[in-house]
Amino acid sequence: MGLGRQKNTVYSQTMLDVTRLRVLVAVARHGSVTAAAHALNYAQPSVSHHLARLEAETGTKLVQRAGRGIRLTDAGRLLAERAAEVIGRLDAAENELAVYSGMRAGRLRLAAFPSALGTIVPAAAAMLRERHPSVDLRLTEAEPPEAVRMLRAGYVDVALVFRHEPEDQAADVSAEGDGQPAAAEPGDVREQVLLSEPVHLIMQSAPKGEPLLAPAVTEIWPADLARLSGQRWIAGCDRCREHLLRQCAVAGFTPKVAFTTDDFVAVQALVMAGLGVATLPAMALQAARNPGVRTVRLRGSRRCVVAVRYGEPPDPPATALLLDVLRSTVGPAIPSPAATAPESAEADAEPAAGAAAESAAGAPAPVA
């Protein structure tokens, strides 16, 4: 009996107060006690008190003086990062419980990368609003690493991400059609492949001199990129840049990257101005196609679009609704942007279920 009381005492002494963790997160996010107090609607002495009590609870120095202000120690930054995740999950749990108990209509928060926000997300949002008008959908633009961090911190319910995979691997995953993860991820998140799409090399459609590739060429393999080793290249986000470097490495060269931008509209404008060549996925071309560029299908790899959720199944009802409309949206193939440029390669984003058949297609036209 005495031992049980002793264990409970030790446990209570090591528990961290959630309110004080919120204060620490606010200080980390806003950079000062004054700004944190304003954001939390607290008095400044109250914020200082909570920080002092949190240091006493942890037995660790969390903040230190820096001129007239303060800054977090290494331990403070570590605790603030973990606290942000914990608080985010608590807030998400509160919202989910409120939905289950009927206190308010469902709230959904989706983080997605730009080309998804320009194609499948608006269609899914419209479908969700039509079928379930009481669900409140909030959208945030974020590249995959940031979207997953937001998911883990509880700021969003679903993260749409992408990754490039070998064409045969993408086809194998898509052919399964069972919603299982396409690649191993840490155990706190679950994945579902929504679609697999081709990647295209883009260049000027009407250059002043000789075209880089003969007009009849509609598809090439990475090894064929060696013909473009002397060109300047326009790179995209970190993941897209890594994909470009890998494909060029297959061809035996390192691309001369002259410009870097994750804005696919800017990429096409730079290409149209003759400032370089680039690669873009089909969804980016579907979202905004510049008529002054030519596309050539780059075989050998594809880009998979994946919906990521946090925690164990089943998904909350509102999250399940969002996944349903996302799957419905990508069910039919996205219209081909090649319809506006007959000389260009086919640039359709294909649903996940159809990728296996596509990978068995015949060989591309020979490179001139």
Average pLDDT, the chain: 79
Residue for token pair 């200080």 = 27
Same domain, 76 and 175: no
Sequence letter at residue 67 = G
What confidence score (pLDDT) does residue 64 get?
A: 84
Tell me which of 44, 62, 83 is where a domain ends.
83
Share above pLDDT 70 across residues of the chain, in percent, rounded to a whole number: 76
What confidence score (pLDDT) does residue 30 get?
A: 83
Same domain, 201 and 304: yes
Q: Residue 311: is its pLDDT beyond 90?
A: no
- 193 with 352: CB under 8 angstroms? yes
Count of domains for the chain: 2
Q: Tell me the residue range of the domain where 299 lies.
A: 156-315+323-361
Same domain, 161 and 65: no
What confidence score (pLDDT) does residue 60 get?
A: 85
Domain presence at residue 134: no
Domain presence at residue 127: no
224-259 pLDDT, tens per residue?
Answer: 999 999 999 999 999 999 999 999 999 999 999 999
Same domain, 33 and 171: no
> Rounded CA gap, 126 and 137, in Å?
10
Give the count of beta carbons closer than 10 Å to the beta carbon of residue 69.
12
- 19 with 25: CB under 8 angstroms? no
Lowest mean pLDDT among 91-105, 114-128, 228-242, 272-286: 91-105
Q: Residue 347: is its pLDDT beyond 50?
A: no
Same domain, 297 and 160: yes
254-282 pLDDT, tens per residue?
Answer: 999 999 999 999 999 999 999 999 999 99
299: nearest Cα among 216, 194, 203, 223: 223
> Rounded CA gap, 295 and 198, in Å?
11
Same domain, 218 and 338: yes
Tell me which of 68, 83, 98 is where a domain ends.
83
Lowest mean pLDDT among 69-73, 134-138, 288-292: 69-73
CATH number at residue 241: 3.40.190.10
